[in-house]
Structure 1
């Protein structure tokens, strides 16, 4: 499988309309650096890594090119583990399939906006966190009635099977909101444009990517009323504590040498998104 096109120190995908903010010029935030090997790593390895294929700016496949913050994160971690980018095999990790990819051995790591939860920890282990997102709503741009989850009474809401976003809606809004689930976010977004659903819910970072994509720009907007914290971790096969420790060490280096912020700035910095402070890896 083709290696990803890396974006080292260039102004990348612009995610406009995030949380209603305007465009800002891309800043000089440094470069995504070539990492040092972490303790215990040896050069010459190979990895199969699960990523999202349909989340613009986060994890996106276009032909043989792979781009987004999660792709940059995965590539940096792999290189810190001794795996060159052309020795990474990328596989699609849809939300409902992430645990199966790891438990079956089809992937060594999953880096796919993968929220750390106690329920998931029963099946897989996590390194991280490496980012904290917030669940939000994506709506049609001309919609003035939906301003947050409390205004979704008797509405049809779309999310993706197997996500914490779907679980949150089922737990907190039983009988009040009709939840429709699809296997991928792109299907939810198309249903929103077609009027089949009233809103899409998942993490703000993902929603902003869709709102700023050329074919959707000017048609959709993110409400900007985040109502959960989603701690992203890197999924690892259950019991592989040695690999978790190495990935955590790689993530710490990723943050400390400025590459974490450079990757975020390339993916979302041009949108006016207020880049958060990094979390502390090793606390998953």
Structure 2
């Protein structure tokens, strides 16, 4: 019995440093900052025709946050990318699969119970993408209509709370929701306005579609990270502030 207890004690003592490892220590050890991001959320994060992950949020990581971390660590690091969606992004952080969510994540009070956020780097609001000529002109005209949204999004929450009579249909990601709209399976797709304009621009016939409605929500985008990791959060914010001040 004593041998078993000693073995467990040694195993726990060896595991403790790994459990207590900060994000900066993990990045220093692996040489990589792993971000969770999107594959179909233009202009913030998407995969282009060359199969490259690009977008404004990714640029912020690679051109602003990565250099700030490299200066702190005194060595170069690489950025690795993994796909994240509204339902998976917080679990990905919690399991240490990613170090930072860099996409289109709204900073909310409820989410702050699970993760920390960086400074806000963009502000938008919920609108609707519809076929040109649609009777839907905003949230006030969606009662009884088929409305697409992404699972786990603040946009879906708004529809459920404010217009419960709308026929809300949630999809796992933005491309699936947009495809449902293109095929006439839904009457409108709700998301943050800036994302809808990005989708419209990439549609086969952009002039067939329009973004309608005043902002029905306030959506401040931030980069999410594990809670209580102040050194890492500071460096993320330093990088973002330098990008803002440089105007690049």
Which category describes the TM-score, using the shorter chain as reference length?
0.7 to 0.9
Note the 1:21-60 alignment, pairs <5 A: 45-60=31-46
4+ aligned runs moved over 2 Å, structure 1: 83-86
SS of the aligned residue for 2:206 comes to coil
C-alpha displacement of 1:217: 1.6
- Give the structure 2 partner of residue 88 of structure 1: 79
C-alpha displacement of 1:141: 1.9
Q: Return the structure number with greater relative CO, CA threshold 8 A, min gap 6.
A: 1
Larger Rg: 2
Measure the CA separation in 2 of the matches of 1:86 and 1:195: 45
Deviations 1:60-80 (A, max 9, x none): 113541211111112121222
Does residue 1:110 correspond to 2:101, yes or no?
Answer: yes
* Higher normalized helix content (fraction of residues): 2
Measure the CA separation in 2 of the matches of 1:95 and 1:132: 18
Measure the CA separation in 2 of the matches of 1:150 and 1:88: 43
Measure the CA separation in 1 of the matches of 2:177 and 2:194: 16
- Give the structure 1 partner of residue 239 of structure 2: 250
Aligned positions, number: 216
Deviations 1:97-135 (A, max 9, x none): 110110010100001111001111111111111111111
Deviations 1:187-218 (A, max 9, x none): 11111111111100010111111101152422
- Give the structure 2 partner of residue 147 of structure 1: 137
Note the 1:193-212 alignment, pairs <5 A: 193-212=182-201
- Give the structure 1 partner of residue 223 of structure 2: 234
Does residue 1:177 correspond to 2:163, yes or no?
Answer: no
Measure the CA separation in 1 of the matches of 2:94 and 2:173: 21
Deviates more, 1:57-66 or 1:82-91: 82-91
Gaps of 5+ in 2: 1-26
Is the Cα contact below 8 Å between 2:148 and 2:171 reproduced in 1?
Answer: yes
Cα RMSD over matched residues? 2.0
Q: Which of 176, 180, 185 is equivalent to 1:191?
A: 180
C-alpha displacement of 1:85: 8.9
Output the TM-score relative to the length of structure 2. Answer: 0.82
Is the Cα contact below 8 Å between 2:100 and 2:223 reproduced in 1?
Answer: yes
Sort the Cα spacing of 1:88 and 1:125 in 2 relative to 1 into closer, same or farther, 3 A. Answer: same
Q: Which of 119, 122, 134 is equivalent to 2:125?
A: 134
Is the Cα contact below 8 Å between 1:58 and 1:205 reproduced in 2?
Answer: no
Deviations 1:214-266 (A, max 9, x none): 5242232111422211011111112212111111111111100112xxxxxxx
- Give the structure 2 partner of residue 166 of structure 1: 156
Is the Cα contact below 8 Å between 1:210 and 1:216 reproduced in 2?
Answer: no
Deviations 1:119-173 (A, max 9, x none): 1111111111111111110001232x11110011110111000111111111111
Sort the Cα spacing of 1:85 and 1:167 in 2 relative to 1 into closer, same or farther, 3 A. Answer: farther
